[in-house]
Copies of this chain bind each other. A is one copy, B any other.
Amino acid sequence: MIGWVRLESGAVTTRSSTDAARVIPEATVARLPVYLRALTALADNGIRTCSSEDLATAAGVNSAKLRKDLSYLGSYGTRGVGYDVDYLRYQIAREIGVTQDWPVVIVGIGNLGHALANYSGFRSRGFRVVALLDADPALVGRTVADIAVRPFDDLDEIVREHDVAIGVIATPAHAAQDVADRMVGIGITSILNFAPAVVAVPEGVDVRKVDLSIELQILAYHEQRKANGGAEAAAAAADGVDAAGGGAA
């Protein structure tokens, strides 16, 4: 359907048709979890089938975009009928990789680290917090959310023992790069960074950042334009501000 993968240099590989050209656009990847959440909500309400229009409404997107996104995964709907909620849910979960369990370590058990440790949405979505780490000796030994806080230097041991691939940084900004370097050094290849700092990582390691201040500043920018009446406000209104875009990136 989408065609074969072109290779610029000579080598030509044949592929089984099952994994044909699976290059899912990044923008689509970022929306799949939203669809998954919407499907779960529908299933919880006892809905077994839905149209792209229904699901799009539940996910807060346009139905054309939804259908196009789903088409990258395959043809899991039925024309004239719609999608089977449970079936589609499973397919998306499998595509994202949340049918399996992902062990996660959290580094920096301060205000935010406490909240994260207590967050139930972690576990319910296929992520398991295997360790809480902090450099502060006063915190080590305390238990948060039934997990003992351990010294940061235990990172190596824990990552090896549980085969951890995902690390969360919730330390102050000045420590973020050091923590990231240690994580990468031990083989962690995905990092979620809550510290307001740019962390540099080698090729092959993914970093996603969550920055509250940036989100607020983006809101402030639009707010300022709304407040400044006249031409500027008109221009701001015209671009259909509805946002909820981040994601990131």
Question: Which of A63-71, A78-86, A121-129, A148-156 participates in binding chain B?
Answer: A121-129
Q: Given A115-B112, A213-B125, A215-B208, answer yes or no on A245-B247 (Cβ-Cβ < 8 Å).
A: yes
Q: Given A5-B235, A111-B118, A232-B19, answer yes or no on A33-B244 (Cβ-Cβ < 8 Å).
A: no
**Is A2 close to B, CB under 8 A?**
no
Which chain B residue has the least Cβ–Cβ distance from A194? B212
A-B contact list, 23 entries, CB within 8 Å: A22-B235, A30-B246, A33-B211, A38-B198, A60-B200, A96-B221, A98-B217, A125-B216, A125-B217, A127-B220, A165-B223, A166-B219, A192-B212, A192-B216, A203-B242, A206-B241, A208-B218, A208-B246, A209-B246, A210-B212, A215-B248, A245-B248, A248-B248
**Is A239 close to B, CB under 8 A?**
yes
Instruction: Please state if B214 and A33 are interface contacts (CB–CB under 8 Å).
Output: yes
Instruction: Please state if A33 and B217 are interface contacts (CB–CB under 8 Å).
Output: yes
From B190, B210, B224, B242, contact of A97 by CB (8 A): B224
Cα distance A203–B241 in the bound complex, in angstroms: 7
Cα distance A33–B221 in the bound complex, in angstroms: 10
Q: Which residues of B lie under 8 Å from residue A1 when comparing CB positions?
A: none
Q: Which residues of B lie under 8 Å from residue A162 when comparing CB positions?
A: none
Q: Which residues of B lie under 8 Å from residue A182 when comparing CB positions?
A: none
**Is A76 close to B, CB under 8 A?**
no
